[in-house]
Amino acid sequence: MDKEAKTDFEIHPLLKSRWSPRAFEDRPVETEKLQRMLEASRWAPSASNIQPWIFFIGLKGDPAYNKIFETLVEFNQLWAVNAPVLILSCGKITTGDNETPNGIWQYDVGQSVAYMTLQAMEDELYVHQMTGFDALKAAELFSLHEDIRAVSVVAVGSLGDPAMLHPRMQKSELAERERKGMDTFVFSEKYGTASDIVEI
């Protein structure tokens, strides 16, 4: 399925082709591909190199997968049931001394997942990140310490056939990708005044 972004300026092919499907083939992901995804996440930047990210990996049919799936809201369960891998992303909210709050831990966890996502695309896998899950239930099921918070769930797998989805999801699966114009968020001297650099 061709969902390549129609960009105003040329960007890396992986970035152009990255999107978040809900239709996944129900087949396992090779261990070495998962290892590369996690290695990529390991090398993401973080404030003071604290590396606050923590991941729980669920492979379809194993206890971790079932726990992660159990935390998903009903809408996400409808499609994620076919994903061969579910990853619970979490973050440590304090610094190394376990006392000082780390004010940007979520930012760094997000960067780590972004690195993971691009490595997945390099290996012809797709990723769908979601926050439609019960973080408190995840904390209970995975015995998270008080200074660790669940952030998102990541579905990983090979691209599937949109026809496998519930009819109400097929429309968005097939729709052309859209983004706001850069003039709506790239400014120079004051908020709302677009920078000349984004003029086409």
Q: How far apart are CA 140 and CA 133, in angstroms?
A: 13
pLDDT at residue 96, rounded to an integer: 78
Q: Which residues pair with 157 in a beta bridge?
A: 126
pLDDT at residue 44, rounded to an integer: 98
39-80 pLDDT, tens digit per residue, is 999 999 999 999 999 999 999 999 999 999 999 999 999 999
Amino acid present at 121: M
- Edge-to-edge order in the sheet of strand 53-59: 53-59, 85-92, 148-157, 126-130
Confidence of residue 199 (pLDDT cuts 50, 70, 90): confident
Confidence of residue 182 (pLDDT cuts 50, 70, 90): very high
pLDDT at residue 136, rounded to an integer: 98
- 24 with 126: CB under 8 angstroms? yes
Amino acid present at 117: T
84-131 pLDDT, tens digit per residue, is 999 999 999 999 777 799 999 999 999 999 999 999 999 999 999 999
- Cα dist from 129 to 7, 72, 186, 190, whole Å: 22, 12, 25, 33
Please determine, for residue 197, whether its predicted confidence score (pLDDT) is greater than 90. Answer: yes
pTM above 0.85, yes or no: yes
- Which tokens is 86 given? 């579910």
pLDDT at residue 97, rounded to an integer: 75
Q: What is the DSSP string of 169-185?
A: HHHHHHSPP----GGGT
Amino acid present at 166: H
150-181 pLDDT, tens digit per residue, is 999 999 999 999 999 988 899 999 999 999 99
23-41 average pLDDT score: 97
Helix (H, G, I), strand (E, B) or coil at 159: strand
Q: Domain map of the chain by residue range? A: 14-163
Which is nearest to 126 in space by CA: 92, 165, 80, 93?
80
Please determine, for residue 26, whether its predicted confidence score (pLDDT) is greater than 90. Answer: no
Which is nearest to 68 in space by CA: 165, 133, 143, 156?
133
184-195 average pLDDT score: 95
CATH of domain 14-163: 3.40.109.10
Helix (H, G, I), strand (E, B) or coil at 57: strand
